[in-house]
Amino acid sequence: MTDLRTHAEEIHEQFSDQLEIDVEDVESRLDTLVNEYKVPLEEARRSVTNGYLDEAGMERDDLGGGGGNEHVELADIDTAEQWVDVTAKVVDLWEPRSDSIAQVGLLGDESGTIKFTKWAKSDLPELEEEHVYDLGNVVTDEYQGNYSVKLNRTTTIEEVEEDIEVGDDTRTVEGALVDIQNGSGLIKRCPEEGCTRVLQNGRCSEHGEVDGEFDLRIKGVLDDGNEVQEIIFDQEATEELTGIELEEAKDMAMDALDTTVVADEMRAATLGRYYRVTGPTLGRYVLVNDLEILDEPVDAEQALIKARSI
């Protein structure tokens, strides 16, 4: 069975009670997007699913898994738009960026950790740090190779009276900050519920042209002389690293009529320094939770030469 057919059958099962569609129609829509328009399969699946949601007058939270879900370990989640069951400990809770999000943080099991989001309108009970839960009917998501799970109004939550020794995917890396990549500084994210994608030219890859919400981040590269490691600073970590807070960054961009001045200022303040950072591994990135400056700033180009000569 082809991947297209498998995805088509899963989508068909989700909508079979609401729409009169057959698997061939679903597969045809997927085939058009994937083979004619060269859309990645996971993005094509999201697009087709969104189309059927509109036809059925449904919201994504109304969409169930379409039957008995597989119980999976977190490290085995490698496909988006899958409805699964997991047993996991709440490792960390973060401050939600939007009123539409009730809770956001990290779940962990023996295999590792994964980000989770619980929507405010889902009316689910609060999760507590260090507690273990059976979570039924959560949906997987993917963005730039990083997977997460979302809790919605169909999710079931049952606390488990046991502990889980969470697999440690936390890393500590150090080296010279030799690059701040594009997409850093003052950015805008999609405001649509359930989406935190960074906008490109005012467009979300899933929701099209939208009015974004400002955020700060740095996508950087540390080089220790032997290997490079890509790292991500979220808003809180970026403010700590640079001393530039979100409102100040917005004022800077408004005065210059150009958001790139923020990233330029951040580069001037941080490139060439040596850092030690610690945080969970999300895809190819380390998400910075803890930060230590190891020395005074030096010339970034010389820092790279020095790091690679170690």
Please write down the HEC assignment for all residues of 249-286: HHHHHHHHCCCHHHHHHHHHHHCCCEEEEEEEEECCEE
CATH of domain 70-160: 2.40.50.140
Alpha carbon distance 88, 67 (integer Å): 21
Average pLDDT over residues 10-25: 86
Alpha carbon distance 256, 264 (integer Å): 12
pLDDT range class, residue 154, cuts 50, 70, 90: confident
pLDDT range class, residue 175, cuts 50, 70, 90: very high
Is the model's pLDDT at 208 over the cut of 60?
yes
Is the model's pLDDT at 63 over the cut of 80?
no
Return the pLDDT at 306.
56
Ranges of each domain in the chain: 2-58, 70-160, 170-293
Q: How far apart are the first and last CA of the chain?
A: 51
H or E stretch covering 212: none
Q: What is the tens place of the pLDDT at every residue in 126-142?
A: 999 999 999 999 999 88
Return the pLDDT at 164.
92
Which residue from 39, 38, 51, 70 is spatially nearest to 11, judged by alpha carbons? Answer: 51
Residue given tokens 């970026």 in the structure block: 238
Alpha carbon distance 250, 230 (integer Å): 26
pLDDT range class, residue 99, cuts 50, 70, 90: confident
Return the pLDDT at 188.
92
Please give the CATH topology (third level) of the domain spanning 170-293: OB fold (Dihydrolipoamide Acetyltransferase, E2P) (2.40.50)
Alpha carbon distance 244, 250 (integer Å): 10
Return the pLDDT at 16.
80
pTM: 0.57
Same fold, 70-160 and 170-293: yes
- Angle (deg, nearest 10), helices 23-31 and 41-56: 130
